Structure formats: structure tokens, C-alpha cells
Amino acid sequence: MTTMLIDVGNTRVKWVKWDGAAFFGSRAAMRGESSAAALRVLAGDLTPEVRRITVANVAGAEIAQALRALARANSAATIRFITSEHEACGVRNAYDEPWRLGIDRWAALIGGFRRTQANAPGAATCVIGAGTAVTFDVVRASGEHLGGMIMPSADLAAHVLAQRTSDIGEVDVHMPRPGDGLALLGRDTRSAVVYGTWLAVGAGIGRALQAVRDSVGSACSVYLTGGGAHSLRQWLDVEAEIQENLVFEGMLALSGMGEGR
């Protein structure tokens, strides 16, 4: 039986298939101002062998309704929307109102926790999600979620600067890190914005990780996931392992469908 896992984010819809042993057919589509185009691409992958659909959705009720209609129209699959809970898969949610923790963060945290306990038992887990926003969550080896942070991505910060100032304008922040020291000082407006926005994110994460390591009293496995993971990693002064399927691994675990590894 083939399962399709769908992660609906603020900017993209991402999906992958699971055959009971491995992921395959990973794809993504930009949502833009309307989700219709992304859902048309997804519909082409809803082939007859897909009998189960699991969704993590942070984009609201309208797209959830569209996905239900798509499932009815394009396959004989059942569809399930997973949600954040007080406790699942050995992890206890730090939020007093657990449903307010984004399901993508919850799934990624569970995916990361399970990876750490399989590969480095006794270590804490830190999951950094690099999307429209950058998220940072930590869970102890015991499964206690300590909480997290949400900060603007470099893209989002640069866009806000363009919107709230008169002379900067829109800036494409996709530039490599120039080096360290004084190389981080831009010599034109674009590089000043790029270096400033990326450095703010990287430094914030570095400060938070140092606080975690000073407090948890154990080693900490650090995972990066999301569309901006590769770009963000070069701005971090700490080692971080990119795991592109971390949300999907957590979704599988939450659905009771295997390790997702």
C-alpha cells in the first residue's frame, strides 16, 4: 500500500510517497497567491496505487477542504489530517495549548527526536526549520520538549525592509557567505541587506544553541530541514545535519506507519 504524505506550508506544498520501506517521488510546488496551481501539480501524482493520504497543514481550512475534494476526485485513498498533541511518540509538548504549535514543527521535532534516540541515545535534539519563518525547537533525551523560537527568515526580513523603507527596495538574499570578520560588512546596499539579514538569523540560532548546551547538560544533535536549509547552514557557526525528510519522518511516526527512515 502506498501512502502520500503532504506538508502544506506557508510558501510551498511538499509531498512524498512511502511504500512501507522507503520514500520516493518527492516533489514540491509553490503556492503563490493561490494554492490552485500547486494542487493541480499534486493531483497528477495521486495515482491509483496511493491508498492513504496523510496531511500536515498550516495553511488553513480552505486548502484542507480542497485537499479533501482532491482525494475524493482522484483516488480511492483515505485522507487524514494530523494535529499537534500534548504527547506523542515519546515527546511531551511544551505548549499549554498544544494545537497552537505548528504541525510541521511538531512532526519535525518528533522525526528529529527519533533519529537522535536511534543514533545518539541520551543526547538532546534541536530541530531548525528553514522556511518562510525560521523555527527552533529543542527536546531533551527524556522526550521533554523545552519550547522553541520563531524568527523571520532572511528572505522575509529583506522583504519587510523593502516594504518599510523608501530606498532599499527588494533584495534577492541568495548569495553565498563572503567569509568572516570584516568580509561580513557589505559595500553596497544589496550585500549590506544580505549579510545583515542572514547574520541576524545565524547569530540568533547560535546564541540559542549555546544556551541549550549550557543548560541541558548533554550532547545535542542539531538538524536542519526546510527549503532554506542549505542556504542557512553556511551562516551557522555550529555543525548541523540537513535532513530534508524530517517532517515526513515525523508524520509517519504520528500516523503509526513505521520508522520513516
* 121 plus 55 within the same structural domain: no
Question: Taken in order 135, 23, 253, 55, is the CA torsion positive or negative?
Answer: positive
Total count of domains within the chain: 2
Whether the per-residue pLDDT at 260 is higher than 50: the answer is no
- CATH number of the domain to which 67 belongs: 3.30.420.40
Torsion of CA 79, 21, 93, 13, to 10 degrees: -50
258 falls within a domain: no
**Does the predicted TM-score (pTM) go above 0.75?**
yes
Residues 135 and 149: beta-carbon distance below 8 Å: yes
Segment 12-47, tens digit of pLDDT: 999 999 999 999 999 999 887 678 888 989 999 998
What percentage of the chain has pLDDT greater than the value 70? 97
User: Could you tell me the residue range of the domain that residue 244 belongs to?
Assistant: 92-251
The rounded distance, in Å, linking the Cα atoms of 203 and 221 is: 18
C-alpha cell at 198: 542572514
210 lies in the same domain as 112: yes
pLDDT for 72 beyond 90: no
Give yes or no: residues 62 and 17 share one domain: yes
Which burial class, exposed, middle or buried, applies to 88 when counting CB atoms under 10 A from its CB (0-12, 13-18, 19+)?
A: buried
Q: What is the pLDDT of residue 33?
A: 65
What's the pLDDT score for residue 136? 98
Q: Which residues of 125-149 are buried (b: 16+ CB within 10 A; e: fewer)?
A: bbbbbbbbbbbbbbbbbebebeebe
Q: Are residues 58 and 119 in the same domain?
A: no
Q: Is 104 a catalytic residue?
A: yes
Q: CA 93 → CA 55, 66, 106, 116, 229, distances in Å? A: 20, 29, 8, 17, 24
The active-site residue out of 7, 19, 104, 180 is 104
Q: Is residue 253 within 8 Å of residue 114, measured between CB atoms?
A: yes
Q: Is 261 helix (H, G, I), strand (E, B) or coil?
A: coil
pLDDT computed for residue 73 by the predictor: 85
Rounded to 10°, the helix 36-43/61-74 angle is 30
Q: What is the pLDDT of residue 201?
A: 97
3-state secondary structure (DSSP) of residue 26: strand
pLDDT band of residue 187 (cuts 50, 70, 90) is: very high
Alpha carbon distance 6, 8 (integer Å): 6
pLDDT of residue 78: 92
